[in-house]
Structure 1
């Protein structure tokens, strides 16, 4: 398996590991509510799920996103377009890694520097992921085979952005911020998985 295809496989593994860790860590803490609590609370300092969530869920999965990003220029061969998409997906990975290095305070309500850095890295990762979906949908809309994902990519980005807005909107009558965050990361993770699988299939066909 060449390096490019290995990188694409990282793009398949990353969202699977991320979503699996959310489910596993949540199961380890029966008191945790996916509707009312943030994902970051699964990796909060002092919790029983801190180590797996910080170092596997955020750290290792983030590293896999970076590996996936590194494979895109050689896979897509589209100059600045592939470089831009790779940069955004790579920033998503770096944001995840940073959010794992800097754990949030218990309840994610503290004022420590670690809490603030965690928040900044997490928001940077989310923002980069949303931009990646929209950019992919726009700049590759005329691509001979990647264009088939254009509408799906843009819709995924807009939906995730809407969900994050609802999560942070203080006047939202539906006070379930955790649910909106879980749905947003689910939408973006699914997009990454679909995109990577699509690239892997296209790469396999091109080798035949």
Structure 2
């Protein structure tokens, strides 16, 4: 297997990560008794008899994003953000893995019949993992935006900046619908990562065999 083939496969992991996560998550969200996306966070699906599905979903998705980060680093040999862009995507993946390992606490009546109390140690670690991963995504979007600006790719720079800002701000616009808005924001933010991965697969893998700076299409 050539280095280029390996790099493409690593980047392809980032391409499939977002659709895989949300296909599995939404399938559960609309089939679990008592779960209401307007009141409950997707992470709460990790509780209950079928909670292992969402735990695995977090861990697999995080692993795919970390693989994509390795592919990005192999592709982005030089230029602004060549190191920190992939590193931050890797932190996003690590945060998702941690969010799967450390299960959140019951809230807003889910799981049905659960007793709500003080935040547990694993619930606290889940929240920390989510926060760190979220900040890493915002930072990554700005790092890539700077890279695209340096390459005079204004469209990509605007998309990257908007993706990170929408991901961060959208859930705060309506506290009563925060769980739903957070799901939408995550879909937008993670889709940005998958989109970057797609373009690196199709246009950037020459960087694994030649020390040229990446040029993305306009």
Q: TM-score, normalised by structure 2?
A: 0.82
After superposition, the Cα gap between the structure-2 partners of 1:8 and 1:23, relative to the gap in structure 1 and judged at 3 Å, is same
Query: Which residue in the other structure is 2:140 paired with?
Result: 132
Does residue 1:161 correspond to 2:171, yes or no?
no
User: What SS is found at the alignment partner of 1:175?
Assistant: helix
Query: Is the deviation greater in 75-84 or in 156-165?
Result: 75-84
Query: Which residue in the other structure is 2:28 paired with?
Result: 25
More helix per residue: 1 or 2?
1
* Superposed CA offset, 1:68-126 (max 9, x none): 10111221212662110011100000000001011112228642101101111011111
CA shift, 1:165, in A, is 2.9
- Distance in 1 (alpha carbons) for counterparts of 2:154 and 2:97: 30
Q: TM-score, normalised by structure 1?
A: 0.86
Q: Write out aligned runs for 1:157-196 (5 A).
A: 157-166=164-173, 172=174, 175-196=176-197
Runs of 4+ in 1 over 3 A off after TM superposition: 203-207
Aligned length: 197
- Distance in 1 (alpha carbons) for counterparts of 2:90 and 2:156: 20
- Distance in 2 (alpha carbons) for counterparts of 1:203 and 1:127: 26
Aligned to 2:150, which of 117, 142, 146?
142
CA contact (8 A) 2:72 2:86 kept: yes
- Distance in 2 (alpha carbons) for counterparts of 1:198 and 1:98: 28
Unmatched runs of 5 consecutive residues or more in structure 2: 109-115, 210-218
